[in-house]
Chains A and B, each alone.
Chain A
Amino acid sequence: DVVMTQTPVSLPVSLGGQASISCRSSQSLVHSNGNTYLHWYLQKPGQSPQLLIYRVSNRFSGVPDRFSGSGSGTDFTLKISRVEPEDLGDYYCLQSTHFPWTFGGGTKLELK
């Protein structure tokens, strides 16, 4: 299985500040079709996970442009600028290039 190493586990931030979450895979996530199936999710307290970014850098509908995804191969990053209260929660990366699909261990974004 592809191991997704997500760091940090916990990320204290100030409102209005910036946050960066890393996700590294144990093998390249470039599919044979050329696409890279690395996605980011946010699970707010008491809610189900919601898609933020799909295929590395594409913001899902309605996701503010404060969220940006980047990376390639095995190294990916989610950046959140101007953190707002509704951004707090657990963030997960997911790769769906290789079966079985695997998640990162999660990052808890919390107030400093």
Chain B
Amino acid sequence: EVQLQESGPGLVKPSQSLSLTCSVTGYSITSNYWGWIRKFPGNKMEWMGYISYSGSTSYNPSLKSRISITRDTSKNQFFLQLNSVTTEDTATYYCARERGGMTPWGQGVMVTVSS
């Protein structure tokens, strides 16, 4: 059974970088696509981007040059880095496998941006 688990700090200061890890078990990240999604307070959902089985990436232009998704295939993990965060980046962050419909999702990690 494929499972995803996000990890990372729950509190980040404004202007700093948000770094999250998605650990995948039961399936190799060298297959399919692996994405990051966030849910804001108020319930709006935003697709942030993905990394493919080959390591290529696609990002939401709304995040401009702030976002980077990378991976470590030896650990079967992929990562999210979001730079120059503001309070508007406060959200619950999810990772998910994409295979023609995102499934499964990790349990999510709540990240608050605050000084």
Residue positions of A touching B, CB distance < 8 A: 1, 37, 39, 41, 47-51, 54-55, 60, 90, 92, 94, 96, 99-103, 105-106
Residues of A with C-beta under 8 A to B106: 48
14 new A-B pairs (CB below 8 Å) besides A50-B103, A90-B43, A106-B45? Answer: A48-B94, A48-B106, A49-B94, A49-B102, A51-B103, A51-B104, A92-B45, A94-B47, A94-B102, A100-B62, A101-B47, A103-B44, A103-B45, A105-B43
**Interface contact A48-B47, CB-CB below 8 Å:** no
Pick the contact of A106 from B43, B46, B103 — CB < 8 Å?
Answer: B43
CA distance A22 to B46 in the complex (A): 19
Residues of A with C-beta under 8 A to B44: 103, 105-106
Residues of B with C-beta under 8 A to A49: 45, 94, 102, 105
The B30-80 residues at the A interface (CB cut-off 8 A) are 43-47, 58-62
Residues of B with C-beta under 8 A to A37: 100
CA distance A100 to B60 in the complex (A): 5
Residue positions of B touching A, CB distance < 8 A: 43-47, 58-62, 94, 98, 100-108
B112 shortest CB reach to chain A, Å: 19
CA distance A68 to B61 in the complex (A): 33
The 8 closest A-B pairs by CB, nearest first: A54-B101, A51-B103, A103-B45, A101-B47, A100-B60, A48-B105, A39-B101, A51-B101
CA distance A47 to B105 in the complex (A): 10
**Interface contact B105-A50, CB-CB below 8 Å:** yes
**Interface contact B105-A102, CB-CB below 8 Å:** no
A12 shortest CB reach to chain B, Å: 17
Residues of B with C-beta under 8 A to A92: 45
CA distance A102 to B47 in the complex (A): 6
